[in-house]
């Protein structure tokens, strides 16, 4: 069962060489052990690889067949393919110096034709992954169940109108939680691509959302009873593949968690391209989650300014990620979460080394953003300008308003007394330039 095969031939461990380096197979900014504030870069960023895109993505799209040859998928036996995929992933993580990975149940091994066959396969591959983790120190950032690919989920999984489908989804989640616990995973994710609807004409939305809440309670109870001490994460997305997904955005998910009493166990996994599909910025979604104390983890990628779908490209926008890193740092950073590259190389990027370039680029971009954000916070002007904007609430009547000591009538009286307030600039361009100084 053990393999010593090399899939990424000729790729030596990627080293930090500094920003003057011409070596395309080196980091220019990501220097894992460099201190940024109180933590090292690797402690801040906690990068993870995504099994589905990086070791399962073949380059198919709705218009065309696979373009990529993934040598670890060439074995005849599905369990052997699972072992080989794990070998490839661990080899890749070692080369990049990435310590975490994320998986769906059926990324680890293909689903069988019967539930018990799938379970047997999964247990074998999980045992192998556990052994590899022991040998290498690599860890699971999060596990999840694929509740969207199989045709049975075409009407939803936990929200399917067919109870038999809900049972299948539950079985998968039970097994995926077991796998996550067995592998010591720090988080368990729910992304509900099919938990939503295509048409209200055939949908009892209220009943479906109650089923989703019931399902999450059962999963939480099972996990807690069976040794899962990590964080449960919900990953918002507004649409695709459902026309309307119930976990639309961070605010919607937080309201749902509050309504159904799930706030103590669940946090949010915010994905860049999901935020932009919801017509928000990534930093907006992070801030909404942070304000509720629910900023759990991130799925890193980027959309496309012209296309309106989930293109899942690797991140490369330092300016935008600097804003995101400001939110993360001000919220105190990750606890159990991290940065999972839920991103894929383009369909015509067909060399294996393209996967290495993609991750180097993503990691360097986040490293630059982290450095810039920390420098902005250390400089302090950004923080003090924002604080100053609210200075009228720091003392006097403004403070009384904040502490609930004034009525609407009191405010009316104060308005009459104060006269028309003078205009105070929001200084947006000044702040944008300030950010630019540090990126
Ligand atoms: C889909 C997506 C998923 C989740 C895990 O848009 O982001 O890959 O991250 O199911
Ligand atoms: Co994702």
pLDDT score, position 308:
87
Ligand 1, closest atom to CA 53? Answer: 8
Terminal alpha carbon distance of the chain: 48
In DSSP notation, 147-186 reads -SSSGGGTT-STT-SSHHHHHHHHHHHHHHHHHHHHTT-S
Cβ of 51 closer than 6 Å to ligand 1, yes or no, is no
Residue 289 has a CB neighbour count (10 Å cut-off) of 25
Using the mean position of ligand 1's atoms as its centre, give its distance from the Cα of residue 191 in Å.
Answer: 6
CA of residue 50 to ligand 1 center, whole Å:
10
Question: Ligand 1 pocket, 299 CB below 6 A?
Answer: yes
Alpha carbon distance 193, 309 (integer Å) = 14
All structural domains of the chain: 15-379 (3.20.20.150), 383-438 (no CATH)
105 Cβ closer than 6 Å to some ligand 1 atom = no
The CA 341 to ligand 2 mean position distance, Å, reads: 8
Ligand 2 is an ion; residues with CB less than 5 A from it: 271, 299, 342
Which residues are catalytically annotated? 104, 107
Nearest atom in ligand 1 to 148's CA: 10
* Cα 431 from Cα 139, distance rounded (Å): 39
In 3D, which of 57, 36, 48 has the Cα closest to residue 269? Answer: 48
User: Nearest Cα to 243, choosing from 282, 209, 201, 194?
Assistant: 194
Would you write out the chain's pLDDT as a tens digit for each of its 439 residues?
Answer: 455 569 999 999 999 999 999 999 999 999 999 999 999 999 999 999 999 999 999 999 999 999 999 999 999 999 999 999 999 999 999 999 999 999 999 999 999 999 999 999 999 999 999 999 999 999 999 999 999 999 999 999 999 999 999 999 999 999 999 999 999 999 999 999 999 999 999 999 999 999 999 999 999 999 999 999 999 999 999 999 999 999 999 999 999 999 999 999 999 999 999 999 999 999 999 999 999 999 999 999 999 999 988 999 999 999 999 999 999 999 999 999 999 999 999 999 999 999 999 999 999 999 999 999 999 999 999 999 999 999 999 999 999 999 999 999 999 999 999 999 999 999 999 999 999 999 9
Ligand 1 atom closest to 240 (CA): 6
Whether the CA torsion 256, 258, 259, 260 is positive or negative: it is positive
For residue 237 and ligand 1, the question of a CB distance below 6 A is answered with: yes
């Amino acid at each position: 069962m053990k393999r010593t095969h090399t899939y990424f031939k000729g790729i030596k461990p990627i080293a930090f060489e500094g920003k003057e380096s011409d070596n395309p197979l080196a980091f220019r900014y990501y220097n894992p052990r460099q201190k940024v504030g109180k933590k090292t870069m690797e402690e801040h960023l906690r990068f993870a690889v995504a099994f589905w895109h990086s070791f399962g993505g073949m380059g198919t799209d709705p218009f065309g067949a696979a373009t990529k040859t993934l040598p670890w998928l060439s074995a005849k036996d599905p369990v052997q393919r699972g072992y080989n995929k794990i070998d490839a992933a661990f080899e890749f993580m070692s080369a990049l110096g990435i310590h975490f990975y994320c998986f769906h149940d059926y990324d680890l091994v293909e689903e069988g034709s019967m539930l018990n066959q799938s379970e047997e396969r999964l247990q074998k591959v999980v045992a192998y992954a556990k052994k590899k983790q022991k040998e290498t120190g690599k860890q699971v950032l999060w596990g999840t169940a694929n509740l969207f690919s199989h045709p049975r989920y075409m009407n939803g999984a936990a929200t399917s109108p067919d109870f038999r489908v809900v049972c299948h989804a539950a079985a998968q989640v039970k097994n995926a939680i077991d796998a996550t616990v067995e592998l010591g995973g720090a988080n368990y994710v729910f992304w509900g691509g099919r938990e939503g609807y295509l048409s209200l004409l055939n949908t009892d939305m209220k009943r479906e959302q109650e089923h989703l809440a019931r399902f999450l309670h059962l999963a939480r109870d099972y996990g807690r009873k069976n040794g899962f001490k990590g964080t449960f994460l919900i990953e918002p997305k507004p649409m695709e593949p459902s026309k309307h997904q119930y976990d639309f955005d961070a605010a919607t998910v937080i309201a749902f968690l509050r309504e159904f009493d799930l706030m103590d166990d669940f946090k949010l996994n915010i994905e860049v391209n999901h935020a932009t599909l919801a017509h928000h910025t990534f930093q907006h979604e992070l801030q909404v989650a942070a304000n509720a104390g629910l900023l759990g983890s991130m799925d890193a990628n980027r959309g496309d300014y012209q296309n309106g779908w989930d293109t899942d490209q690797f991140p490369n926008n330092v300016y935008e990620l600097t804003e995101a890193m400001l939110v993360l740092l001000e919220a105190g950073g990750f606890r159990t979460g991290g940065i999972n590259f839920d991103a894929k190389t383009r369909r015509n990027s067909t060399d294996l080394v393209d996967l290495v370039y993609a991750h180097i680029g993503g990691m360097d971009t986040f490293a630059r953003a982290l450095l810039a954000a920390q420098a902005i916070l250390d400089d302090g002007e950004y923080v003090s300008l924002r604080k100053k904007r609210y200075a009228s609430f720091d003392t006097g009547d403004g403070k009384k308003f904040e502490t609930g000591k004034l009525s609407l009538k009191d405010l009316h009286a104060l308005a009459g007394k104060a006269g028309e307030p003078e205009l105070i600039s929001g200084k947006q361009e000044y702040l944008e330039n300030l950010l630019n100084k540090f990126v």
